[in-house]
Amino acid sequence: MVRLEGKVAVITGATGGIGSAAATLFAEEGARVALVDLDEAALQETARSIGEDKASYTVADVTRPEQTQAYIDAAVNRWGGIDILLANAGIEGTLSPITDYPIEVFDRVMAVNVRGVWLGIKYALPVMRAGGRGSIVITSSTAGIGGSPEMSAYNTSKHAVIGLMRSAALEGAPSGVRVNTVNPAPIETRMMRSLEEMRVAALDDAKVTVEVTKRSYADRIPLQRYGNPEEVARMMLFLASDESSFCTGGVYMVDGGRSAGSR
């Protein structure tokens, strides 16, 4: 079954672990994908691996309004419309208690993870409304439904996009545009490597290696492991496709049971 036949998907953070898995899966399911990220060489490589007849790309910083308008326009010009926005670009910030957390890092995390998603919706919605349908999928996190120490900026941002999603779902519903979040637990990507390394550096204890840190994070997940990007991409595919035609305003966990509680 080809579940996104004839659809156009804009994907931000498209060269990252989860974004590139989603772009690849969406294209396999028949979509044309418009990739957005910061690094041109990485975008070129991702587009090439998907196939240039199915993938285009735009270099853009999602925090910038004019660059957001440009990536939306580029997708429309190349593929004739937009059916799906996967607002997925994100950064982790740093690990630090609130009292020591650098203000400029807090601002940057909020700019990428919240303002970037808001801008994407702001400029994509008119295009989707014109088509009378659409699906917006936002990458939130288990950090969007619970707190964790030393990750205040990231936690705040991932909670914020759930509020944004709910407002956008109500605004989009009359014109058939659905909006949902996908909330992964730790997934095997650069972002978790970065967090593990920051944790090891902060503890400065020879016994606490990256492997030990990873095991301790994985032990908090009932399925006892990190997820992989393809497992997240499959939920994104469901929400992007017409199979989820009655789903809007929802928070969809992909978390190995993490949100069910701890064992």
Please select the residue that binds ligand NAD; options are 9, 37, 134, 200, rule is CB under 6 A.
Answer: 37
Question: C-alpha distances in angstroms, 46 versus 40, 42, 75, 89, 142?
Answer: 10, 6, 16, 15, 27
The distance of closest approach from Cβ of residue 19 to ligand NAD in the complex, given in angstroms and rounded to an integer, is 6
Please select the residue that binds ligand NAD; options are 25, 27, 31, 62, rule is CB under 6 A.
Answer: 62
256: contact with ligand NAD by CB under 6 A = no
186: contact with ligand NAD by CB under 6 A = yes
- Residue 222 in 3-state DSSP? coil
63: contact with ligand NAD by CB under 6 A = yes
Is 154 tagged catalytic? Answer: yes
* DSSP conformation class of 26: H
Please select the residue that binds ligand NAD; options are 15, 56, 58, 152, rule is CB under 6 A.
Answer: 15
User: Which span (85-93, 145-153, 235-243, 244-252) binds ligand NAD, by CB under 6 A?
Assistant: 85-93
User: Which span (43-51, 59-67, 70-78, 166-174) binds ligand NAD, by CB under 6 A?
Assistant: 59-67
The distance of closest approach from Cβ of residue 84 to ligand NAD in the complex, given in angstroms and rounded to an integer, is 16
191: contact with ligand NAD by CB under 6 A = yes
C-alpha to C-alpha distance for 231 and 255, rounded to whole angstroms: 10
- Helical H segments across 111-147, by residue range: 116-131
Query: What type of residue is 189?
Result: T
Cβ atoms of 160 and 139 within 8 Å: the answer is: no
Tokens encoding 9: 């998907």
139: contact with ligand NAD by CB under 6 A = yes
61: contact with ligand NAD by CB under 6 A = yes
The distance of closest approach from Cβ of residue 174 to ligand NAD in the complex, given in angstroms and rounded to an integer, is 28
13: contact with ligand NAD by CB under 6 A = yes
Query: What type of residue is 174?
Result: P
Cβ atoms of 225 and 185 within 8 Å: the answer is: no
The residues in 91-110 that bind ligand NAD, with binding defined as CB under 6 A, are: 91
Beta strands 177-184; 251-254: pairing state: parallel
C-alpha to C-alpha distance for 53 and 2, rounded to whole angstroms: 17
Sheet with 84-87: strands ordered across: 55-59, 32-37, 8-12, 84-87, 134-139, 177-184, 251-254
Residues recognised as catalytic: 154
Which residues lie near ligand NAD (CB under 6 A)? 12-13, 15-19, 37-38, 61-63, 88-91, 112, 116, 139, 141, 184, 186-187, 189-192
